Amino acid sequence: MTPDTSPPRIVVAGGIGSGKSTVGRLLAERGVWVIDADRIGHEVLTDPAVAEAVEGRWPEVVVDGVVDRARLASIVFVDADDLRRLEAITHPAIREGILEEAARHPGEPVAVELPLMPEWFGVGWTVWVVDADTDTRMERVLARGSASEDVVARMAAQPTRELWLEAADHVISNDGDLVDLASAVDKAWRSLDP
């Protein structure tokens, strides 16, 4: 049997404030092409068809065809049904955008920073879950200027820590400093044997 020599495909998943973006930057320093699912999600909301679908459900968040993301977030992150409706509108296009971007880098290692459960990815993808305790995550997000009630709502809308950990092929603990995180990323990277 021939060993798989294709470049690594990594899903860097975890809750808000866990450190996915920092892990992404550390991977980029190693030559990994990093895809930010949040960026693609923002781009998807600028698609006229998506904006129209959002306006059909939440007309108050769309002005002149432009989705007010902050206003939309203030609605969907406090109502699980609304969040599911938004995900039904946006997730197919986000998934397609991620997979298309990954396909444009066939000879390179690729990582996707994903604030969702990694069920979109199948064979050939390794799931790294970045884990940090709730207080640490809260402090990080508040330091970025988010309001406390917004952070609490987003955390409540995301999967539990247990679900994240169950989804992981590799857990990267991020309760320490950047040196500790870089060491954990190095260890996970070496486990891929790229």
What pLDDT, on a 0 to 100 scale, did the predictor assign at position 1? 45
What pLDDT, on a 0 to 100 scale, did the predictor assign at position 104? 95
- Answer whether residue 74 shows pLDDT above 70: yes
Exposed, middle or buried by CB within 10 Å (0-12, 13-18, 19+), for 47? middle
What is the per-residue pLDDT across 79-120, written as a single tens digit (0 to 9) for each? 989 999 999 999 999 999 999 999 999 999 999 999 888 788
What pLDDT, on a 0 to 100 scale, did the predictor assign at position 4? 57
Q: Which residue has the higher pLDDT, 149 or 31?
A: 31
What pLDDT, on a 0 to 100 scale, did the predictor assign at position 151? 80
The domain 9-189 is placed in CATH, from the list 2.40.40.20, 3.40.50.300, 3.40.470.10, 3.30.450.40, at 3.40.50.300
- Answer whether residue 5 shows pLDDT above 80: no
**Would you list the domain boundaries of the chain?**
9-189
Tokens of 129: 């879950």
Tokens of 48: 């006229």
Rounded-to-integer distance, Cα 52 and Cα 126, Å: 35
User: Chain centroid to CA 122: how far?
Assistant: 16
What is the per-residue pLDDT across 12-28, written as a single tens digit (0 to 9) for each? 999 999 999 999 999 99
In contact, 115 and 38? CB cutoff 8 Å: yes
Q: Which residue has the higher pLDDT, 4 or 13?
A: 13
Which of the four pLDDT bands, split at 50, 70 and 90, describes residue 57?
A: very high
**172 DSSP β-pair partners:** 130
The percentage of the chain sitting over the pLDDT mark of 70, rounded to a whole number, equals: 97
What pLDDT, on a 0 to 100 scale, did the predictor assign at position 172? 97
What pLDDT, on a 0 to 100 scale, did the predictor assign at position 87? 93
